[in-house]
Amino acid sequence: MSKRRLPIGIQTFRKIREQNCYYVDKTAYIRRLLDEGTHYFLSRPRRFGKSLFLDTLKEVFEGNEPLFGGLYIHDRWEWSVRHPVLRLSFGSGNFKEPGYVEANLMAQLDAVERRTGVASDYASGPERFAHLLEELHDQAGQPVAVLIDEYDKPILDALEVPETARANRDFLRGLYAVIKDRDAHVRFAFITGVSKFSKVSLFSGLNNLKDITLDARYSAICGYTDPDLDRVFAPELSGLDRDQIRAWYNGYRWLGDEKVYNPFDILLLFDRREFAAYWFETGTPTFLIETLFKRRVSSLALGQMEGSSELLATFDVDDMATEALLFQTGYLTITAEENLGDERLYRLGYPNREVRQSLNRSLLRYLVRDATRQMANSVRLYRLLEANDFAGLETLFHAFFASIPYEWYVNNDIAGYEGYYASVFYSYFAGLGLDIVVEDSTSHGRSDMAVVFNDHVYLFEFKVVELASAGAAMAQLKARRYADKYRALGQPIYLIGVEFSKDTRNVAAFDVECA
């Protein structure tokens, strides 16, 4: 198989096909969608290929058969029947500005009317949208395919200005209700975005919308699977460690058996031939980081959250569950599920190394407020761990805690909170991309943190104490024999008991023993 062009930044199906780019065939999903319903909603994180999927749908409905040669749908669609397509996207614009969302919509409808020759005297967006559906249907003799991309961006962009976010949400609710009201003129509707706003808040007028976000049959509708990499991108894999690719970028899961890669990461990896946090670096999650700190969410808890299907769908301007926020934006994914009576419970965790490492670095940067110092601390930590310099480690963390302003503790009301102190340790180690297990279960209990690095095992126990050097952390490490689980590895094992003082808000004891 010869190399093709990498479709980096290309969201147009026609360009991909005509410019001989790599393409992972998603048209089997289109055929299934057409067979099983007419109105769909899909939530996926940013840069997962939603826009390309919508553009592929557009080409199918417009009957552009030559583009689909060799693809699944080619012999399974009646190409002589062509449907008008009304496509909207809210991917760009300043939606924090009051009233901008309506101006943006009107500009998009202007463009559709110019292109199709449909004239309208309506002065409001929803009415013009309804009129267009009717006229396009009459004009073509076939009902319309409605495709809406980034339906939620006008709300998400304005979350820091809640009154504008609510106004944008209410305006969009009226717009999307038109699809249900003009159902006789709609052949197919597909709405995509990052978040899943509740039907009550945004889709109350579109109650026939089928949500396939957590439908196992569509788990890989966006993203690349392992077989996709082996089959489609085989010419690009030479010289890259396959296991390392999985560790860095695989792991996103929306039920079903398949895990997927973010396409953006994979394409840039193949282009630059080095591992980096490509997806994470395209969007600074400032709002997310601030929300986590405001809600006092420990970084240790991030990789082991739980939520019901209802909770993961709880998302509105004034009601954003932490679990839903992290899951819908792609910083956590479903790692396991179980039924508890009539309730489906999902366990959430980091999808891969890129997200775990980068999110924890961002958390640290928010604390330190000095990127240069934070990076220097991380480099120092790595060097000290390489040398097993435990005295140096104690000094490093003592200096770090001492540098955090007193006002930070007061404003966040977390002084003496064991999970907070431990989370700082965790974020530093996770930010280095090390192999870490939090609350590692053994037959005698759970150790707070286990780190496997450089053929050594480090077992941590954290305690908040009244008096310095009380020895409680080390005593628990020994009494519960946490080291037994790791003896089979044949590697040196170190027990590290870390104690924090409520009074000094710093490391009070840092005890190390070989197990």
pLDDT digits (tens, 9 = 90+) for 232-255: 999 999 999 999 999 999 999 999
* pLDDT beyond 90 at 61: yes
Residue 354 lies in a domain: no
CATH number of the domain that residue 164 is part of: 3.40.50
**Is residue 375 in some structural domain?**
yes
Domain boundary among 170, 202, 218: 218
Q: How many CB atoms lie within 10 A of CB 161?
A: 15
- Asked if residue 384 belongs to a domain, the reply is yes
CB 179 within 8 A of CB 206: yes
DSSP state of 400: H
Select from 218, 241, 259 the last residue of a domain: 218
Q: What's the number of domains the chain is made of?
A: 2
Cα 312 from Cα 309, distance rounded (Å): 5
Q: What is the pLDDT of residue 295?
A: 84
Token pair of 497 as six digits: 């008991």
pLDDT in tens, 405-445: 655 554 554 444 566 778 888 888 999 998 888 876 554 55
Does residue 129 fall inside a structural domain? yes
Would residue 19 count as lying in a domain?
no
Tens digits of residue pLDDT in 144-177: 999 999 999 999 999 889 999 999 999 999 999 9
The more confident residue out of 20 and 297 is 20
Find the distance separating the first CA and the last CA of the chain, reported in whole Å: 53
pLDDT category of residue 396 using cuts at 50, 70 and 90: very high
CATH number of the domain to which 467 belongs: 3.40.1350
**Nearest residue to 209 via CA among 194, 223, 222, 196:** 196
pTM higher than 0.85: yes
Q: Which domain holds residue 379?
A: 368-514
Query: Does residue 329 form part of some domain?
Result: no
pLDDT at 103 over 50: yes
Does some domain include residue 113?
yes
Are the C-beta atoms of 188 and 34 separated by less than 8 Å?
yes
Query: DSSP E strands: which ranges in 143-251?
Result: 144-149, 186-193, 210-211
DSSP structural state of residue 332:
S
- Residue ending a domain, among 159, 191, 218, is 218
